Amino acid sequence: MAQHIDYVSTGVPGADTILNGGIYPGSAVLVSGPPGSGKSIFGMQFVYAGARDHGEGGLIVAIEETDRSLSEYAGSIGLEAWDSLVEKGAITMMTDDYFARTDLPGSLEGIMEVLGRTEARRMVIDPMNLFKYYFPQDVDRRRYLLKFIRILKRRGITSLIISEAMGVFPNMPLTEEMYMTDGNISLFLSRSGNNVERCFWVTKMRRQAFSMKIVPMGIGRGGIEVFPDAVPYSLGE
Ligand SMILES: Nc1ncnc2c1ncn2[C@@H]1O[C@H](COP(=O)(O)OP(=O)(O)OP(=O)(O)O)[C@@H](O)[C@H]1O
Ligand SMILES: [Mg+2]
């Protein structure tokens, strides 16, 4: 008999259709893209949907934000219950407010401590360059990332690891992190003439079937919406 799997809904309208229901539970998914492509918004929606709609606590680690700026960002895209979910403890934010008062290795342990205490089921690291500050040497950083992913997996936490893409579609270099994670989602901008459109592309998802199609997406009130049945005009034949 086929095993029933409760895929983890992304909370991003249309994205679960591409993913055949959502993300395989416990996966670590790399979300990469250039500046302004929607990575942070995708991460906020993922944590928000888990907390609001699925009773799953979430931890968002956003080192470049403060608690206040992150709350304001969530509010500005229409995630209206963000603050009340934070108050209830359903969403936990670890931002510069936290990291500014800890030493670096200690704050990694701090993440583990908060994960244990809050029983989070979803986690977002935005961006994963966090690890670069702690581990300037590539080999140390990769070792740590692997260890970190292993811990998340053991705890059954589904995570989004946000990464700044160092290239523009279709010339995006492959990075080791793409191999180390279970899934890769690419958000990018595509140009045709002087028009630029947002695109959503899942390139890898271990243990699950998904659509490999590049589809358009938009950002508006409520955050990102993916259009699974549409063809990006800039990429049409
Ligand atoms: N309230 C809003 N309404 C419509 N679009 C918005 C709104 N807020 C942000 N955006 C769009 O989202 C983009 C930023 O998205 P996001 O912060 O997720 O990008 P990012 O990929 O995380 O970028 P970076 O790598 O610079 O952090 C903005 O450039 C803007 O186009
Ligand atoms: Mg961002």
Q: How confident is the model at residue 123 (pLDDT cuts 50, 70, 90)?
A: very high
Q: Is residue 197 part of a domain?
A: no
**Cα(2) to centroid(ligand 2), Å:** 39
Q: Is residue 198 part of a domain?
A: no
**59-102: pLDDT as tens digits:** 999 989 999 999 999 999 999 999 999 999 999 999 999 988 88
Q: Is residue 30 part of a domain?
A: yes
Q: How confident is the model at residue 130 (pLDDT cuts 50, 70, 90)?
A: confident
pLDDT reported for residue 43 = 98
Write out 142-187 in H/E/C secondary structure.
HHHHHHHHHHHHHCCCEEEEEEECCCCCCCCCCCHHHHHCCEEEEE
Residue 84: CA count within 13 A, CB half-sphere: 4
Q: Which CATH number covers residue 114?
A: 3.40.50.300
Q: Is residue 18 part of a domain?
A: no
pLDDT reported for residue 101 = 86
Domain that holds residue 30: 26-184
Q: Is residue 218 part of a domain?
A: no
Q: Is residue 91 part of a domain?
A: yes
Distance CA 70, CA 200 (A): 23
pTM value? 0.96
Give the number of domains in the chain: 1
- The number of beta carbons lying within 10 Å of the beta carbon of residue 76 is 10
Q: Best of 12, 32, 39 to mutate for ligand 1, by most ligand atoms within 8 A of CB?
A: 39
**Cα(34) to centroid(ligand 1), Å:** 11
Residue type, 64: E
Distance CA 77, CA 57 (A): 20
Residue 175 C-alpha from the chain's centroid: 17
Pairing between β-strand 223-226 and β-strand 91-95 as defined by DSSP bridges: unpaired
Partner residues linked to 60 by β-bridges:
93, 124
pLDDT, the chain, mean:
94
Q: Is residue 86 part of a domain?
A: yes
Question: Which tokens go with 110?
Answer: 């701090």
Q: Is residue 237 part of a domain?
A: no
Residue nearest to ligand 1 atom 7, measured at CA: 77
